[in-house]
């Protein structure tokens, strides 16, 4: 979480943002097109020509907080309650996906979701990390097509 809060939100240019993100381990496996798309649509050009992240580090940290709490098994929900209890009420086909190179905790969380959702199946993306759509979009499209053909009616 602290790393998120320290994230650099401003760059001299879109090219500078792309270069910095390309060197970051979290973005190193993204396709060039995906990373440029992120820079084009995830940043806003300022009047002085610099670019600024649209999702500020403090906003991203607030979003990630409950995810990290769930990973640490300390998440109790918010004013709306604990969302995990409602997973058992999902009555449509669901495909829960993990990626081979994701952290083990994501695989554990996915297994728990599959166990709670009555019509859930599981899919693993081989050879990629957490950001499948950005790393290997063709694998995501194949998985969506496979899910569509396996759905009833």
Which pLDDT band, with edges at 50, 70 and 90, does 57 fall under?
confident
Which residues lie across from 52 on neighbouring strands? 10, 44
Contacting residues for 28 by C-beta, under 8 A, at least 6 apart: 22
Distance of alpha carbon 75 from alpha carbon 18, whole angstroms: 34
Name the residue among 30, 145, 53, 152 with its Cα closest to residue 93. Answer: 152
Which pLDDT band, with edges at 50, 70 and 90, does 1 fall under?
low
User: Per residue in 122-136, pLDDT tens?
Assistant: 999 999 998 999 999
Distance of alpha carbon 77 from alpha carbon 55, whole angstroms: 23
pLDDT at 59 over 70: yes
* Tokens of residue 51, six digits: 């670019």
């Amino acid at each position: 979480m602290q790393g998120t809060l320290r994230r650099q939100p401003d760059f001299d240019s879109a090219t500078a943002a792309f270069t910095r993100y390309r060197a970051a381990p979290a973005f190193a496996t993204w396709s060039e097109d995906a990373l440029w798309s992120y820079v084009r649509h995830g940043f806003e050009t300022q009047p002085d020509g610099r670019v600024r992240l649209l999702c500020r580090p403090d906003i991203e940290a607030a979003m990630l907080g409950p995810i990290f709490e769930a990973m640490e098994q300390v998440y109790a929900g918010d004013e709306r309650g604990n969302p995990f209890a409602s997973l058992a009420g999902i009555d449509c086909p669901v495909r829960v996906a993990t990626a081979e190179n994701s952290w083990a905790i994501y695989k554990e969380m996915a297994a728990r979701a599959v166990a709670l959702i009555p019509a859930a199946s599981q899919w693993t993306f081989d050879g990629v990390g957490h950001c499948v759509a950005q790393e290997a979009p063709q694998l995501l499209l194949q998985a969506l097509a496979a899910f569509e053909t396996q759905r009833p009616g």
